[in-house]
Amino acid sequence: MPDHLSVMELWRYPVKSLQGERLHSAELGPEGIAGDRQWALFDLETGFGLTARRAPDLLFGAARLRPDGTVEVVLPDGTVTTDDEEISGWVGRRVSLRPAGSAPGRPRYESPDDDLAETSTRWHDWQGAPGAFHDNAGARLSLVTTGTLGTWDRRRFRANVVLEGAGEGGLIGSQVRLGTAVLDVGDPIPRCVMVTRPQPGGIARDTSVLKTIHRERGGDLAVAALVHRPGSVRTGDVLEPA
């Protein structure tokens, strides 16, 4: 196990592909951080869950949880809403904001056939995880270290847990304690065109990020985890063997 990894940042993304919330502490349960990816926008024409792979402007909206556990969307102009018509007007297509578990079956999404292409002309659809709107069932929580990120802006990778230190790859296959929670660390996370998208705060479109990840890391960055035992975590907590 890597030496002395501690929690530098915690992030929750209530609506898939929108900006999220930086937290000082979080509750971890079977779906990961409580409230994470619990809502998504669905394209009413195609039926697919809409992500920034297909609609990059989603990254310029934000989502936050209300005290009662519901969600609200903050549009780039500052409008706070949950109204499908207002959100559709911003996105430029008819969409519906839906909570996890609101429809039978697992959601489907779209990705370009070639993530490394400057312009994508061919797309394929794929099936996401059941429950919360994670991309796959083995990744309810994502962890990355500052050593892996280097000079890249951590916000490109939308990790739930940013660890101070180096070497999250050394955690793969292990069981670790984070705060009072216990995690089963699984596989590396394959990266897609999302990491190249522009975001608020001066993050520009940069296709070299994904090209470098493919060239130097086999296409993976960060690791996935499942919550073996629920608990709480806060910034400053040290990751330890379980």
* Per-residue pLDDT reduced to its tens digit, 28-78: 999 999 999 999 999 999 999 999 999 999 999 999 999 999 999 999 999
* Per-residue pLDDT reduced to its tens digit, 146-203: 999 999 999 999 999 999 999 899 999 999 999 999 999 999 999 999 999 999 999 9
User: What is the percent of the chain where pLDDT is above 70?
Assistant: 100
Q: Could you tell me the sign of the dihedral formed by the alpha carbons of 22, 28, 34, 38, in that order?
A: positive
* Spatial distance between the Cα atoms of 132 and 39, rounded to a whole number of angstroms: 7
Give me the pLDDT at residue 125, please.
Answer: 95
Confidence category of residue 119, pLDDT binned at 50, 70, 90: confident
CB 4 within 8 A of CB 100: no
Domain extents for the chain? 5-241
- Per CATH, which fold does 5-241 belong to? M1 Pyruvate Kinase; Domain 3 (2.40.33)
* Per-residue pLDDT reduced to its tens digit, 214-239: 999 999 999 999 999 999 999 999 99
pLDDT at 137 over 80: yes
* Per-residue pLDDT reduced to its tens digit, 198-219: 999 999 999 999 999 999 999 9
pLDDT at 24 over 90: yes
Segment 5-33 shows an average pLDDT of: 98
* Spatial distance between the Cα atoms of 106 and 207, rounded to a whole number of angstroms: 30
Token pair in block for residue 14? 């209530």
CB 13 within 8 A of CB 59: no
pLDDT at 118 over 80: no
Tell me which long-range contacts 191-196 makes (C-beta under 8 A, separation of at least 24). 191/157, 191/219, 191/220, 191/221, 192/53, 192/111, 192/115, 193/53, 193/111, 193/112, 193/115, 193/120, 194/17, 194/51, 194/52, 194/53, 194/158, 195/156, 195/157, 195/221
pTM: 0.95
